[in-house]
Amino acid sequence: MTSKELLYVEDALGHEQYFQTQFKEISSRIQDGDLKRFSEQCAQKHQEIFRNFYNLL
């Protein structure tokens, strides 16, 4: 993996961490059950994407 490709992966990891954190924060504030579950599912999906990117390293 080139250094430029590594920078892309690191950037993607940062974005996925950000999205995961945001969805967790949102789900802790939402009162509506359906929206809360949706937000939690989004957080889990971004955690999965993060793991996939991390495994590239």
pLDDT at 35: 96
Q: What is the pLDDT of residue 5?
A: 87
Q: Say how far apart CA 55 and CA 57 lie, in whole Å.
A: 5
Two tokens at 53? 């990117």
The boundaries of the domain holding residue 29 are: 3-56
Joined together, the tokens standing for residue 36 give: 């809360």
Per-residue confidence (pLDDT) for residue 9, from 0 to 100: 87
Residues contacting 16, CB < 8 A, separation 6+: 46, 47, 49, 50, 53
**Overall domain count for the chain:** 1
What pTM was estimated for this model as a whole?
A: 0.84
> Could you list the pLDDT tens digit for every one of the 57 residues in the chain?
889 988 998 999 999 999 999 999 999 999 999 999 999 999 999 999 999 988 877
Residue 45: the pLDDT is: 97
Residue 14: CB partners within 8 Å, gap ≥ 6? none
